[in-house]
Amino acid sequence: MTLAYYPGCSMHGTSREYEESLLAVAAALELDLREIDDWSCCGASSAHVADHLLGVALPARNLALAEAQGADEVLAPCAACYNRLSGAVHAVADEPGMAAEVPEVLSRPFANSVRVLSIVELLQGLAPVIEERVAARLEPNPLEHLNIAAYWGCLLVRPAEITGFDDSERPTGMDDVISACAANPVRWNMAVECCGGAFSVSRTSSVLRLSRAAAFAAFAASRSAAATAALSASRARWAKSGCVSTKWRSKPRLAMGRPRARPTSWVM
């Protein structure tokens, strides 16, 4: 299967291990990811704060490029990019005037015909294949019987109109993938709470407070591991706390480890 791919800026920088694991998983699932040629930043975190039109136009440029390059679907594995791209699709479709205004500022044709896929939608759709491959190739399977708390954060599930998962308070997509890997998804309370990621540079203390609460809750619920598809969540934890080491597994991303018994070091 061939799929257009929008990596986004962090995948080539602070979250490079996410791209490495994604490409390894894609190879194992025989997915051919074709990077959109000459893609640009989607403006996540900042453009929509400054100007609504800019917040739509920056991601729309990439959708227009994907269209011109013959794609029907684009995979945006970064949760923030996914949210902005998918938000642009809906803004252009639903907001009055946008369908005319966006091609005008883009100076290129834009039919808004591309569907944006998150990593969870993609892997959830492939869960039967994952299950079969994991059973056939991973012996022993290091994930077997591991309790895993799926952390979604904000951008994959909200607003519900643009993301379209089954339930924005208790989504189940990631659990299907965890089960397909023969691990046990656990129920816990903070799966869709905010980690503060967008402030990881500018207001670190808030990020630590929010991420720490989620990380401890995940650990308390699972006693072993948390899975996250949110880049900034794991980046914030990794960069700031050093308490959660990231290790690659056969899933979008697994941040494994036990928070050290020095909680004071988490708070600045």
CB of 92 to other proteins, least distance (A): 14
Q: Establish if 164 lies at the interface with other proteins (CB under 8 A).
A: no
- Beta-bridge mates of residue 151: 228
Q: Establish if 198 lies at the interface with other proteins (CB under 8 A).
A: yes
Q: Establish if 202 lies at the interface with other proteins (CB under 8 A).
A: yes
Q: Establish if 159 lies at the interface with other proteins (CB under 8 A).
A: yes
Task: Specify burial of residue 257 (Cβ count, 10 A radius: 0-12, 13-18, 19+).
Answer: middle
Task: From 102-110, 121-129, 135-143, 221-229, give the range in contact with other proteins by CB under 8 A.
Answer: 102-110
Binding-site member from 25, 26, 43, 92 for other proteins (CB under 8 A): 43
CB of 1 to other proteins, least distance (A): 27
CB of 236 to other proteins, least distance (A): 11
Binding-site member from 3, 28, 29, 106 for other proteins (CB under 8 A): 106
The angle formed by the CA atoms of residues 22, 24 and 16, to the nearest 5 degrees, is: 50
Q: Establish if 116 lies at the interface with other proteins (CB under 8 A).
A: no
Binding-site member from 23, 28, 69, 101 for other proteins (CB under 8 A): 101
**Quick one: three-class SS letters along the chain?**
CEEEECCCHHHHCCCHHHHHHHHHHHHHCCCEEEECCCCCCCCCCCHHHHCHHHHHHHHHHHHHHHHHCCCCEEECCCHHHHHHHHHHHHHHHHCCCHHHHHHHHHCCCCCCCCEEECHHHHHHHCHHHHHHHHHHHCCCCCCCCCEEEEECCCCCCCCHHHHCCCCCCCCCHHHHHHHHCCCEECCCCCCCCCCCHHHCCCCHHHHHHHHHHHHHHHHHHHCCEEEECCHHHHHHHHHHHCCCEEECCCCCCEEECCCCCCHHHHCC
> CB-wise, 66 or 180, nearer to other proteins?
66
> CB-wise, 30 or 161, nearer to other proteins?
161
Q: Establish if 45 lies at the interface with other proteins (CB under 8 A).
A: yes
Report how many residues bind other proteins under the rule CB under 8 A.
55
Length of the chain equals 268
- Beta-bridge mates of residue 246: 255
Q: Establish if 84 lies at the interface with other proteins (CB under 8 A).
A: no
Binding-site member from 204, 213, 256, 259 for other proteins (CB under 8 A): 204
CB of 106 to other proteins, least distance (A): 6
Give, in order, the Cα–Cα distances in Å from 117 to each of 8, 14, 100. 14, 22, 24
Task: From 4-12, 69-77, 132-140, 211-219, give the range in contact with other proteins by CB under 8 A.
Answer: 4-12
Task: From 15-23, 24-32, 135-143, 175-183, give the range in contact with other proteins by CB under 8 A.
Answer: 15-23
The residues of the shown chain that bind other proteins, judged by CB under 8 A, are 9-10, 12-17, 38-41, 43, 45-55, 57-58, 61, 101, 104-108, 154, 158-160, 168-169, 192-194, 196-199, 201-204, 206, 210, 239-240, 242
